[in-house]
């Protein structure tokens, strides 16, 4: 063998070695958790028991669901199970829930529980490395989820319970979970940016925790919501789309008419589960996804529960942080995405922390008594305040501030818990709001529970604060104007999740955070809560608002026809309060902005062009809408 062939052989070996190395490196690392519903492409959907939606499948009673599974050598299986009432069901017989592993023709039972309680989810965790697994051949097997009635003989009376299995997850005990940051997105409903001290509010003690987050983290000075009320705004946050694109842009009254079930032709379009959302993208990346929210206008049945393993209607700031902390503790070993929402700042304004500044002790005591005894606190608070002679802007705004103060403390509790269990260093926290609140800025009568009907800055400017562990960019305040639709691609970037830019109207904020970009982004807002539709475009120095000259609330709201509507144009750097409408002296600019609105808000991404998801509202949501004042 001459020297040349030796070199050639050596070269060939090296090339093969490099190729082999490349091949092995390019194989994706196996995940430590596997969602059984996804592996089986099941048609699981959100099912509500008690106050919690879980991604679940109905199992006949008696009957079974068979799922493919690849069982690792050492693993555990987590899932939920529960029973729902059937209308007119007289007797509620207990049901036996069982799980088997099928290996060839052999079925090995790994779980058995009798459940007599209806209307609540139960959790199960079954270790699969115990004695009973020794006989099972590992690798590809089947999991069988089965139910059976447990009756004392009178099967007829007890027949027909609805049984569900929720989101089974296989956890490989030998494989450490992937190192990915947890992401917590906090939406403090109705929180206007300029009432936080870190955004310049005069009260130094209103929001000490959020202020410290902003100081240590990253604060965006100008963040604009895409919609002035809760339902469409959250749909925009979740999908990175304008309301006219995701389609959840109809009025609250249409939502209520659809809810009443009295008119057969009236439906409300909820959030279509086929539209990619933060939760669906994170789940694709093997994150466990969960939400705790205030219900009502963010209720799971409007389409928001999709792709969440659990979507719980418990308000962390109004009720308790305990369920949130418990959930975090149970999932601390896996990357998670957690959405937290609260109505504590939203009317009724029941927090009296600053009340002594504007009320005497007798007035405060009367209010306290009213909060304890009234049936409809939200609807009747203005009447009560009028009776007491205290219904004025200074008072409602001061009480609103009390809600911010209390919410700040609750948020601090949750973050302190993350620190206590050692998760703070691996968790990105984002705090924002869906819209602001008016206190008479443009209409002296609008001083209580007023949002949704205008697009002025007190309504569309919201806070946006990021806490990013060990970030070299911490401490920045970013002046460039951004939008809530930018959150979806930003959160995906944090978790290294690829998104199709063509399918999202928002753009990642990472280049702004890293200082690679400093350009403001045009921010469009639309889909007002009721009445003639308004659409606006805001730039840091100016705002244009177009109001439709149409009264019918049910008309499609996506297009502006070119018949003249009412126009407003404000030069924000000279007139930040938006008091001097210059539309009549700036017709050319107005026409250019109107064209821009039409061009942007009528160009739906192809991925959502033909989707439609009409919903029915459940009874609990109706009650919640009542308690929030949307149903009289
Ligand atoms: Zn809201």
With beta carbons less than 8 A apart as the criterion, state whether 569 and 542 touch. Answer: yes
506 alpha carbon – ligand 1 mean position (Å)? 20
Q: Which CATH superfamily is domain 182-242+276-521+616-627 in?
A: Alkaline Phosphatase, subunit A (3.40.720.10)
320 alpha carbon – ligand 1 mean position (Å)? 20
d(CA 169, CA 36): 6
224-251 mean pLDDT: 94
Rg over CA atoms, the chain: 27
Mean pLDDT of the chain: 89
Whether the link from the prior residue into 165 is cis, omega within 30° of 0, is no
Q: At what angle do helices 208-216 and 393-420 cross, to 10 degrees?
A: 60
In sequence order, the β-bridge partners of residue 123 are 80
Predicted pLDDT of residue 176: 80
Predicted pLDDT of residue 251: 82
189 alpha carbon – ligand 1 mean position (Å)? 5
229 alpha carbon – ligand 1 mean position (Å)? 5
225 alpha carbon – ligand 1 mean position (Å)? 11
Q: For the chain, what is the largest distance between any 2 Cα atoms, rounded to a whole number of angstroms?
A: 107
- Torsion, CA 414, CA 416, CA 420, CA 421, rounded to 10: 30
278-295 mean pLDDT: 96
154: pLDDT confidence band, cut at 50, 70 and 90?
A: low
Q: Which helix (H) or strand (E) holds 631?
A: none
In sequence order, the β-bridge partners of residue 45 are 56
With beta carbons less than 8 A apart as the criterion, state whether 233 and 485 touch. Answer: no
In the chain, count H helices and then E strands: 17, 25
| 172-181, 437-446, 564-573, 617-626 — most confident range | 437-446
d(CA 531, CA 191): 23
Predicted pLDDT of residue 615: 64
158: pLDDT confidence band, cut at 50, 70 and 90?
A: low
Predicted pLDDT of residue 29: 47
pLDDT in tens, 317-353: 999 999 999 999 999 999 999 999 999 999 999 999 9
Distances (CA, A) of 439 to 72, 74, 205: 59, 59, 21
d(CA 6, CA 90): 86
Ion ligand 1: residues, CB < 5 A: 189, 230, 434
391-407 mean pLDDT: 98
CATH of 33-172, one of 3.40.50.300, 2.30.40.10, 2.60.120.680, 2.40.50.100: 2.60.120.680
Whether the pLDDT of residue 231 is over 90: the answer is: yes
Of the chain, the percentage scoring pLDDT greater than 70 comes to 86
Distances (CA, A) of 303 to 163, 248, 490: 22, 10, 22
Predicted pLDDT of residue 250: 82
90 CB-contact burial (10 Å; exposed 0-12 / middle 13-18 / buried 19+):
exposed
Q: Burial letters for 108-128: b for 16+ Cβ neighbours within 10 Å, e otherwise?
A: bebbeeebeebeebeebebeb
State pTM to two decimals: 0.91
190 alpha carbon – ligand 1 mean position (Å)? 5
d(CA 358, CA 558): 44
Q: Going by C-beta distance under 8 Å and a sequence separation of 6 or more, which residues neighbour residue 339?
A: 184, 185, 187, 278, 279, 289, 290, 291, 292, 293, 308
pLDDT in tens, 546-563: 998 766 555 556 556 555
Alpha carbon 630 to its chain centroid, in Å, reads 20
528 alpha carbon – ligand 1 mean position (Å)? 12
d(CA 281, CA 288): 11
Residue 38, phi-psi category: left (phi > 0), alpha (psi -120 to 50), beta (remainder): alpha
20 versus 231: which is more confidently predicted? 231
Least confident window among 55-64, 364-373, 623-632 = 623-632
347 alpha carbon – ligand 1 mean position (Å)? 10
d(CA 523, CA 346): 24
d(CA 114, CA 93): 10
218 versus 604: which is more confidently predicted? 218
468 alpha carbon – ligand 1 mean position (Å)? 25
| Closest to 308 (Cα-Cα) out of 563, 55, 535 | 55
199 alpha carbon – ligand 1 mean position (Å)? 20
276 alpha carbon – ligand 1 mean position (Å)? 22
DSSP 487: H
| Closest to 452 (Cα-Cα) out of 469, 434, 466, 465 | 434
Which string of DSSP letters, residue by residue, matches 195-227?
Answer: GSGGGT-S-TTS-HHHHHHHHHSEEEEEEE-S-
338 alpha carbon – ligand 1 mean position (Å)? 19
Whether the pLDDT of residue 631 is over 70: the answer is: no
Strands 182-188 and 427-432: parallel
412 versus 615: which is more confidently predicted? 412
Predicted pLDDT of residue 626: 63
434 alpha carbon – ligand 1 mean position (Å)? 5
pLDDT in tens, 50-72: 999 999 999 999 999 999 998 88
Distances (CA, A) of 511 to 1, 462, 466, 518, 523: 58, 21, 14, 8, 18
579-607 mean pLDDT: 90
Predicted pLDDT of residue 28: 43
Alpha carbon 211 to its chain centroid, in Å, reads 23
d(CA 347, CA 587): 39
468-486 mean pLDDT: 97
Predicted pLDDT of residue 73: 83
435 alpha carbon – ligand 1 mean position (Å)? 6
Domain range annotation of the chain: 33-172, 182-242+276-521+616-627
114 versus 552: which is more confidently predicted? 114
| Closest to 40 (Cα-Cα) out of 173, 148, 144, 124 | 144
């Amino acid at each position: 063998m001459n020297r040349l062939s030796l070199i050639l052989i050596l070269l060939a070996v090296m090339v093969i070695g490099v190729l082999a190395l490349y091949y092995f490196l390019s194989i994706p690392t196996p995940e430590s958790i596997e969602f059984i519903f996804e592996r089986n492409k099941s048609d699981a959907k959100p099912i509500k028991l008690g106050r919690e939606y879980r991604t679940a499948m109905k199992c006949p009673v008696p009957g079974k669901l068979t799922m493919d599974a690849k069982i690792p050598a050492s693993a555990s299986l987590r899932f939920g199970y529960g029973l729902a009432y059937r209308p007119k069901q007289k007797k509620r017989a207990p049901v036996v829930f069982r799980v088997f592993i099928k290996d060839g023709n052999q079925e090995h039972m790994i779980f058995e529980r009798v459940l007599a309680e209806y209307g609540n989810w139960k959790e199960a965790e079954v270790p699969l490395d115990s004695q009973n697994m020794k006989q099972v051949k590992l690798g590809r097997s089947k999991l069988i989820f089965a139910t059976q009635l447990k009756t004392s003989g009178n099967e007829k009376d007890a027949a027909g319970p609805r049984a569900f299995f929720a989101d089974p997850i296989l956890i490989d005990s030998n494989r450490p979970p992937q190192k990915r940051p947890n992401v917590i997105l906090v939406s403090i409903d109705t929180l206007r940016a300029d009432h936080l001290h870190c955004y310049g509010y005069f009260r130094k003690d209103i929001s000490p925790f959020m202020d410290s987050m902003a100081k240590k983290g990253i604060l965006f000075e100008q963040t604009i919501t895409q919609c002035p009320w809760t339902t469409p705004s959250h749909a925009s946050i979740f999908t990175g789309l304008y309301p006219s694109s995701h389609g959840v842009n109809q009025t609250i009254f249409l939502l209520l008419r659809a809810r009443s079930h009295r008119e057969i032709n009236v439906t409300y379009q909820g959030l279509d589960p086929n539209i990619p959302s933060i939760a669906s993208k994170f789940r694709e990346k093997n994150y466990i996804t969960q939400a705790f929210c205030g219900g009502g206008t963010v209720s799971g049945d409007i389409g928001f529960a999709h792709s969440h393993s659990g979507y719980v209607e418990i308000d962390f700031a109004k009720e308790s942080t305990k369920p949130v902390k418990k959930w975090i503790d149970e999932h601390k070993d896996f990357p998670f995405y957690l959405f937290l929402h609260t109505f504590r700042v939203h009317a009724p304004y029941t927090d009296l922390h600053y009340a002594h500044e504007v009320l005497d002790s007798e007035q405060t005591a009367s209010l306290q008594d009213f909060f304890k005894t009234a049936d409809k606190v939200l609807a009747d608070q203005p009447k009560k305040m009028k009776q007491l002679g205290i219904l004025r802007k200074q008072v409602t705004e001061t009480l609103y501030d009390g809600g911010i103060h209390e919410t700040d403390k609750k948020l601090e509790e949750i973050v302190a818990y993350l620190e206590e269990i050692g998760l703070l260093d691996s968790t990105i926290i984002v705090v924002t709001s869906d819209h602001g609140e008016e206190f008479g800025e443009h209409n002296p009568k609008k001083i209580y529970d007023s949002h949704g009907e205008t697009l002025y800055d007190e309504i569309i400017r919201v806070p946006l604060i990021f806490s990013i562990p060990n970030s070299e960019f911490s401490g920045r305040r970013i002046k460039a104007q951004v939008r809530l639709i930018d959150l979806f691609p930003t959160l995906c970037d944090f978790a290294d999740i690829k998104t199709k830019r063509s399918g999202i109207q928002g753009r990642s904020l990472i280049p702004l955070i890293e200082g690679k970009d400093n350009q403001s982004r045009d921010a469009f807002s639309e889909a007002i809560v009721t009445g003639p539709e308004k659409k606006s475009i805001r730039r840091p120095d100016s705002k244009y608002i177009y109001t439709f000259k149409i009264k019918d609330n049910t008309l499609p709201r996506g297009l502006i026809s070119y018949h003249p509507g009412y126009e407003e144009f404000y030069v924000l750097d000279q007139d930040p309060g938006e008091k001097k409408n210059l539309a009549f002296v700036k017709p050319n600019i107005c026409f250019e902005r109107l064209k821009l609105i039409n061009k942007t808000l009528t160009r739906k991404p192809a991925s959502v062009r033909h989707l439609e998801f009409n919903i029915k509202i459940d009874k609990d949501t109706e009650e919640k809408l009542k308690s929030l004042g949307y149903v009289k």
